């Protein structure tokens, strides 16, 4: 029940953020299909409630690490369309000055330590960020997003061991979308995923990743506990990606059926579900929701136009802002 002004604002913010992610992805897909975007990209559509439910529980001071499917995390953590589209198109005004692209997008100003094309690659970064918080006596929390396929990486077991021993303020958020590239998770992952974290004495939870309120409720509780030094935690979020593994993966029938895709889209879509709830609870009218959708669409279209017209970095800057010197890092 929408029971206070603060809650109402949070509900509308979460709805809007989910729509922003879906809209961003629709535009990114279009840019790729019309050959305006270089490289490869992985769509987050279908998984919006995971990033939004969790990031709504975080402040700008809290950190996240992201994945190759990272646009949703980036938007949810507060990034702007314009700089994101510039990054995807390799333009100078992008978050990483056009040198990161889709799979390496980062936004330090909102605590997004970055996407990572190496499956599981951000697990050490997240755990290191949490170790830094503990050593400095800071109260920020880091959320490490990764996919079900990344649970096959040995690094996860090294970092969970350290995080558990040192009681680090980190939350491992496993986005279980049922597939690792073109393989069903059930065919490659033995036992329960949460049991793997429990083996290290880490409290682990399962949640419906299509239900933004359930995700946000759990995340809010765990973030508060992690701040008090009760972490680490592990959460498995059951979700689904609507597109192929990457934008070029268009013939998917050999590894999943059209009926399965249709069932998730028609019956478990996080945006449709939350929209119905908002209307039923009287948080927003259909007209207000339509107006919000249209506003987001217009914002995205303007940002795309801006990014297409924006400048590329100069050729002589090719190795600028790519390396850092260790003295600077240690200072």
Using CA atoms, how far apart are residues 277 and 265, in angstroms rounded to an integer?
Answer: 17
Name the binder of 117 from Mg ion, ligand TPP, none, CB < 5-8 A by kind.
Answer: ligand TPP
CB nearer ligand TPP, residue 8 or residue 183:
183
- Smallest distance from the beta carbon of 292 to ligand TPP, in angstroms? 27
**Residue with the shortest CB distance to ligand TPP:** 147
- Smallest distance from the beta carbon of 26 to Mg ion, in angstroms? 21
Dihedral of alpha carbons 2, 242, 88, 152, sign:
positive
257: left (phi over 0), alpha (psi -120 to 50) or beta: beta
CB nearer ligand TPP, residue 25 or residue 140:
25
| Buried b / exposed e along 270-283 (16+ C-beta atoms within 10 A) | bbebbbebbeeeeb
- Smallest distance from the beta carbon of 120 to ligand TPP, in angstroms? 6
CB-based contacts of 304, cutoff 8 Å, min separation 6: 27, 31, 85
**Residue with the shortest CB distance to Mg ion:** 147
CB nearer Mg ion, residue 107 or residue 175:
175
188 makes contact with ligand TPP (CB under 6 A): no
CA-to-CA separations, 134 to 110, 122, 204, 228, in angstroms, rounded: 20, 19, 21, 11
Read off the tokens for 12: 């509308």
CB nearer ligand TPP, residue 69 or residue 104:
69
Q: Which of 69, 73, 196, 243 binds ligand TPP (CB under 6 A)?
A: 69
CB-based contacts of 2, cutoff 8 Å, min separation 6: 8, 11, 278, 281, 282, 283
Cβ distance 25 to 102 under 8 Å?
no
Could you say which residues in the range 92-151 bind ligand TPP, by CB under 6 A?
117-119, 147-150
CB nearer ligand TPP, residue 120 or residue 169:
120
CB nearer ligand TPP, residue 68 or residue 99:
68
Q: Which of 147, 209, 232, 244 binds Mg ion (CB under 5 A)?
A: 147
Using CA atoms, how far apart are residues 95 and 82, in angstroms rounded to an integer?
Answer: 9
x/- mask, ligand TPP, residues 145-184, rule CB under 6 A, reads --xxxx--------------------------x-xxx---
Contact set with ligand TPP (CB under 6 A): 68-69, 117-119, 147-150, 177, 179-181, 245
């Amino acid at each position: 029940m929408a029971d206070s002004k603060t809650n109402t604002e949070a509900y509308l913010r979460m709805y809007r953020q989910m729509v922003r992610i879906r809209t961003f992805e629709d535009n990114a897909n279009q840019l790729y299909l019309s050959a305006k975007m270089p490289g490869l990209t992985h769509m987050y559509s279908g998984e919006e409630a995971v990033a939004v439910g969790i990031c709504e529980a975080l402040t700008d001071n809290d950190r996240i690490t992201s994945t190759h499917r990272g646009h949703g995390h980036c938007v949810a953590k507060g990034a702007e369309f314009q700089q994101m589209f510039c990054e995807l198109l390799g333009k100078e005004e992008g978050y990483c000055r056009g040198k990161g692209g889709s799979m390496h997008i980062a936004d330090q100003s909102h605590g997004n330590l970055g996407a990572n094309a190496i499956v599981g690659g951000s697990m050490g970064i997240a755990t290191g960020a949490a170790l830094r918080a503990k050593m400095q006596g800071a109260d920020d929390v880091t959320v490490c997003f990764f996919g079900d396929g990344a649970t096959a990486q040995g690094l996860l077991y090294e970092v969970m061991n350290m995080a558990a021993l040192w009681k680090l303020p980190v939350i491992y958020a496993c986005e279980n979308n049922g597939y690792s590239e073109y393989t069903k998770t059930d065919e490659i992952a033995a036992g329960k995923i949460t049991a793997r974290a429990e083996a290290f004495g880490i409290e682990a939870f399962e949640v419906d990743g299509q239900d933004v309120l359930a995700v946000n409720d759990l995340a809010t509780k765990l973030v508060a506990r992690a701040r008090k030094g009760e972490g680490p935690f592990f959460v498995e979020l059951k979700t689904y990606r609507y597109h192929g593994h990457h934008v070029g993966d268009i013939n998917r029938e050999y590894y999943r059926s059209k009926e399965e895709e249709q069932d998730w889209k028609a019956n478990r879509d996080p945006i449709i579900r939350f929209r119905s709830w908002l209307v039923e609870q009287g948080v927003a009218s259909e007209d207000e929701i339509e107006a919000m959708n249209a506003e987001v669409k217009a914002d995205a279209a303007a940002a795309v136009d801006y990014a297409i017209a924006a400048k590329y970095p100069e050729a002589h800057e090719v190795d600028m802002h790519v390396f850092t010197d260790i003295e600077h890092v240690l200072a």
